Chain A
Amino acid sequence: MNDTPISAADRHRKATELLPWYVNGTLGADETAWIEAHLAQCPECQKELAFERGMHANLPESAPLPDADAGWAAMLERMQEAPVPVPADEPAAPSGHGNVVALRPRTFLRRPIPLGWAMAAQAAAIVLMVGGSQLGLVRSSGEHEYHALASPSQTGAANMLVMFQPDLREADLRRILLSNRAELIGGPNASGAYQLRFAPGTLTGAMTRLRADPRVTMAQPIDGDGR
């Protein structure tokens, strides 16, 4: 033991603080190695570790969970009564605009757009989230099974979600895909979003071109690592 009494106390306090996250396995490699070294020579922390493991294993279940079906039914009612989705950094459309709302799904979409399209764009953002869930970015509860809404194809994962003007002709869509060397992986889904795959190294350039194209209303990379 080369530690001075003070530094030993500090190390002990630090180890005690970190123990819960050592037990739940979320510490990084460095902290894990550090705490294991401390545990090896600290009987007090070893006792504390046993307590922590007991806590972790015995945390009582709460009462039965509320019913998700009933919750979803209430949610639907609530959504019908709620105002149209408006981003936090965007003031709501002034009244008297009928079914037009100022919606800005991303910085590249700044014009007032029809309500239906606004909802579709909002839904596309949700699709991205669910896609993330299906790709393992969200731990599933294990109580439900869902089919993937934005899951990768067998040949290669989509790396961008793209939406086009609703009246875009098929020939134009094809030209956009070819000129950007994009591969169609899936879609359109219910929101009108297509899952595309771009060759490695071309993604950023393609995204810039697509976002500059007035026929494209959304071009959002699908982030594979969940960060």
Chain B
Amino acid sequence: MVAFETLYRIYHPRLARFLMRIASRQHIIEDVINETMMVVWQKADAFNGQSKLSTWIFAIAYRTAMKSLRRNGEPMEDKEANERASEDASPEDEVAREHRRALLTSAMKALSADHRTVIELTYFHEMGYREISEIMDCPVDTVKTRMFHARRHLRRCLPGSAPDWL
């Protein structure tokens, strides 16, 4: 039990960070974390070491989150956020980094949960595309395509040119 608590506490912040990008409701996030870790506890012996432990746990979390989103009727895509981002994307905002982050947050919310997942796993959790394809249980090309479209969407929502980000 001590070992499991250790594992739980190692993964709690990582899963929370990941799930907060996919789902917005706090109680869903907490529920998905514990549902995920319950699966880890109950099926620990099924982990065969063929993939990294983090890949296995994130894959469980991703599947659990998708099921939960469907069950709870949480929007997978926030169309209003998309509109907000587009309306705000005026040249006057180019110098305000904080405002840019707000725009980016808003633009992220407009993406589908699948697109947000790829962005989050790549940019924040710094995973490779193969690992992401294992977590999402989809072909590598699908990961690349999702990322391609997600980036195109974000670029459309954000004003200014690339160097402004630096």
Chain A residues in contact with chain B, CB under 8 A?
A: 16-18, 20-21, 24-27, 47-48, 50-60, 62-63, 65-66, 68, 70-72, 74-75, 78-79, 82-83, 85-89, 103-106, 121-123, 125-130, 132-133, 137-141, 143-144, 146, 149, 189-191, 223, 226-227
Contacts and interface: CB of A to CB of B under 8 A. Distances in A.
A223 B21 CA distance: 32
Range for the number of chain B residues in contact with chain A: 35 or more
A144 to B, nearest CB: 5
Interface of B: 1-14, 16-17, 20-21, 26, 29-30, 33-34, 37-38, 40-47, 49-54, 97, 100-102, 104-105, 108, 119-120, 122-124, 126-129, 131, 144-145, 147-148, 151, 154-155, 161-166
A87 B10 contact: no
Given A58-B97, A137-B53, A126 B3 contact: yes
Interface centre among A59, A78, A126, A143 (most CB of B within 10 A): A126
Contact of A60 (B6, B43, B105, B131): B105
Given A137-B52, A138-B10, A58 B47 contact: no
A85 B41 contact: yes
Contacts of B166: 50, 53-54, 57
A68 B13 contact: yes
A203 B77 CA distance: 51
A62 B10 contact: no
Nearest to A75: B34
A97 to B, nearest CB: 18
Given A56-B123, A149-B2, A149-B3, A129 B101 contact: no
Contacts of A27: 128
B104 A125 contact: no
Contacts of A58: 97, 100-101, 104, 165
